[in-house]
């Protein structure tokens, strides 16, 4: 049986539709159409739209003809992760089609949705996210994948950000061939196993080697520094890394940090996390480094900053985002004490040590 569907939202974007269907789509089977007395509205929880009844309006979209039962199964899985299901509608030309809609109270409609703006800002991340979602087709149910969507989007956004930063190390620009890539675990983090061959320095290719890596996200790290009072703020919280290593010091001193959410640039993340973790407003941000946390084992990528701020007496305390179960204590530490801690190896956080020595090098400039 062949199916005829109307798409008003992100699946109007042919590359995304092809990811979801797992096949190429003949552009001749895609025809512009509109649905009367409805409007596509952006939702606060997006980036995607919802279909809202609106007398006198028309929702633009496309009709896709000739979709197979297998296509429909894949579409039901993908759209179901967002709690969208099929219903029948009559289009402006009087023809019948089916469209994916959500319950009226499922998402929070805001402004009219603009497809071209979504393509510019979100299509790359959405295609990357869809590849992970459809990788679970046949292995997980749509409700489980729906619960994973925040982590899936953040991993996809990290891959989008990766296209925008180049360290310029002058290293070998050789080929890497992936013979196998498998997702063996997915939750808050994910774990991938790969079999690869890579270019060698002698001009040949390596034999196939097996590797695994933790799929994390981009994160912004920021050390607040008050150049007038010549002090920094450190934060303290319990960490599972030391727990897993069976380190007796489970509470760690760190810079303020948080993952870069979809749509954010790292600088915005640093400012947001400073507000959430320490109730601080940062003024100037100084970029210290952009680097991998441990490139042999994880995709985690750090955007590290010093943020200028006022740190008067009494500005330290306990804060954190309750929605993320954060319990974070902040400390005001003089510059001299901070450097002493670094040199005495009292800091067990590598980015924090880096920040100490960067600050030692740039302190005079910042204080001037």
Q: 238 by DSSP, 3-state: which?
A: strand
pLDDT confidence band for 29 (50 / 70 / 90) = confident
pLDDT digits (tens, 9 = 90+) for 243-264: 999 999 999 999 999 999 999 9
* pLDDT above 90: residue 67: yes
Percent of the chain clearing pLDDT 70 (strictly above): 100
Per-residue confidence band for 104, with pLDDT thresholds at 50, 70 and 90: confident
Q: Does domain 3-143 have CATH number 3.10.490.10?
A: yes
Residue 321 pLDDT exceeds 80: no
CATH topology of domain 218-367: Nucleoside Triphosphate Pyrophosphohydrolase (3.90.79)
- Provide the mean pLDDT of the chain: 94
pLDDT in tens, 187-211: 888 999 999 999 999 999 999 999 9
263: β partners: none
**pLDDT at residue 160 in the model:** 94
Q: What is the pLDDT of residue 336?
A: 98
The residues annotated as belonging to the active site are: 324
Domains of the chain: which residue ranges?
3-143, 176-215, 218-367
Nearest alpha-carbon partner for 305 in 343, 358, 235: 358
Q: Which of 182-191, 225-234, 239-248, 310-319 has the highest mean pLDDT?
A: 225-234
According to DSSP H, which parts of the chain are helical? 14-21, 69-80, 115-135, 142-161, 240-245, 266-278, 335-343, 350-367
Which CB contacts under 8 angstroms, 24+ apart, belong to 142-145? 142/76, 142/77, 142/78, 142/80, 142/81, 143/80, 143/81, 145/77, 145/81
pTM for the model: 0.89
- With 80 as the cut, is the pLDDT of residue 323 above it? no
Tell me, what's the pLDDT at 304? 98
Q: Which of 253-267, 286-300, 311-325, 326-340 has the lowest average pLDDT?
A: 311-325
Confidence of residue 117 (pLDDT cuts 50, 70, 90): very high
Report the distance separating Cα 344 and Cα 62, nearest Å. 65
Per-residue confidence band for 114, with pLDDT thresholds at 50, 70 and 90: very high
Mean pLDDT for 345-361 is 97
Nearest to residue 226, comparing CAs of 214, 216, 234, 218? 234
Residue 105: predicted pLDDT:
87
């Amino acid at each position: 049986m062949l199916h005829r569907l109307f798409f008003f939202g992100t699946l109007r974007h042919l590359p995304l539709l092809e990811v979801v269907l797992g096949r190429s789509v003949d552009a001749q089977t895609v025809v512009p159409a509109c649905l009367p007395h409805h409007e596509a509205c952006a939702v606060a929880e997006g980036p995607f739209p919802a279909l809202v009844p609106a007398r006198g309006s028309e929702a633009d979209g496309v009709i896709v003809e000739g979709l197979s039962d297998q296509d429909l199964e894949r579409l039901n899985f993908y759209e179901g992760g967002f709690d969208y299901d099929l219903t029948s509608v009559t289009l402006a030309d009087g023809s019948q089609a089916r469209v994916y809609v959500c319950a009226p109270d499922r998402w929070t409609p805001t402004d009219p949705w603009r497809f071209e703006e979504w393509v510019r800002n979100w299509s790359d991340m959405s295609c990357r996210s869809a590849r992970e979602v459809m990788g679970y087709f046949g292995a997980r149910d749509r409700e489980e994948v729906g619960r994973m969507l925040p982590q899936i989007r953040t991993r996809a956004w990290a891959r989008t950000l990766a296209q925008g930063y180049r360290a310029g190390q002058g290293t070998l620009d050789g080929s890497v061939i992936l013979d196998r890539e498998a997702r063996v675990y997915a939750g808050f983090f994910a774990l991938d196993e790969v079999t690869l061959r890579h270019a060698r320095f002698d001009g040949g290719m390596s034999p196939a080697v097996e590797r695994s890596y933790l799929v994390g996200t981009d994160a912004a790290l920021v050390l607040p520094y008050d150049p007038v009072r010549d002090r920094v703020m450190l934060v303290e919280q319990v960490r599972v890394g030391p727990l897993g290593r069976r380190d007796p010091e489970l509470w760690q001193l760190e810079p303020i940090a948080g993952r870069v959410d979809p749509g954010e640039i790292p600088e915005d993340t640093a400012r947001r996390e400073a507000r959430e973790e320490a109730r601080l407003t940062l003024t100037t941000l100084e970029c210290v480094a952009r680097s991998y946390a441990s490139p042999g084992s994880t995709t985690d990528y750090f955007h590290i900053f010093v943020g200028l701020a006022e740190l008067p007496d009494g500005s330290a305390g306990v804060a954190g985002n309750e929605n993320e179960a954060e319990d974070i204590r902040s400390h005001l530490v003089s510059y001299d004490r901070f450097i002493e801690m670094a040199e005495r190896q009292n800091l067990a956080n590598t980015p924090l040590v880096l920040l100490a020595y960067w600050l030692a090098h740039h302190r005079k400039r910042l204080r001037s």
